[in-house]
Homo-oligomer: A and B are copies of this chain.
């Protein structure tokens, strides 16, 4: 392993433009690699995402992937982060509503639709598709950001006195865990079928809003 401090000082003394060019180059290369991995993920599922297949798709030796991401886990982490971005986009596509109860309901539906539309991503992110992968601080933070819409609704509902004031993170966790539970059991094949899963999901959201919002309809 090279000494990072010396390498940095050398580069700092030398042309910064060159370093930037090279950094940009490797950065785009990384993006290409992630895109290749992502396309395999969506086309053939998580178990098809192997170092060799990604390398084959990129027509490069496997070593390059290790140079760029350190390990497979490093690449998987990027897929996790991309999944967070996709989820965040899905949430932001939900139109805001004055009725926070309905808005939360729609967000819940969006979460379900994300899990069905991007099932492979969902498995990577929350389904333990790569059992070796455990999100570290940065990944967790990105996840929290993706769930921000939910956080906002909860916070606003508390502000407006529609919801009992508690730790918002706890309430978000309550919602998240409940909905994830249904999805995970469904994806794991523990529920009798898609219809039962959807019905259960529907009931989960209803139950949650009913419990959390102080005022019933």
Contacts and interface: CB of A to CB of B under 8 A. Distances in A.
A148 to B, nearest CB: 15
B174 A177 contact: no
Interface in A9-54: 46-47
A204 interface: yes
Interface residues of A, number: 39
Interface stretch (A57-65, A152-160, A183-191): A183-191
Given A170-B200, A177-B182, A189 B46 contact: no
For A47, A132, A173, which residue has the most chain B Cβ atoms within 10 angstroms?
A: A173
A211 interface: yes
Contact of A207 (B174, B190, B192): B174
A174 B189 contact: no
Nearest to A212: B207
Given A127-B128, A181-B179, A189-B134, A211 B200 contact: no
Contacts of A140: 189-190, 192
Oligomer copy total: 2
A135 interface: yes
A203 B126 contact: no
A123 B191 CA distance: 17
A14 B126 CA distance: 49
Given A174-B204, A200-B173, A190 B135 contact: yes
A150 to B, nearest CB: 14
Nearest to A174: B203
13 contacts: A46-B131, A47-B132, A123-B128, A131-B131, A135-B190, A140-B190, A143-B190, A173-B200, A176-B181, A177-B181, A177-B182, A180-B185, A184-B184
Nearest to A184: B184
B199 A177 contact: no
A168 B166 CA distance: 31
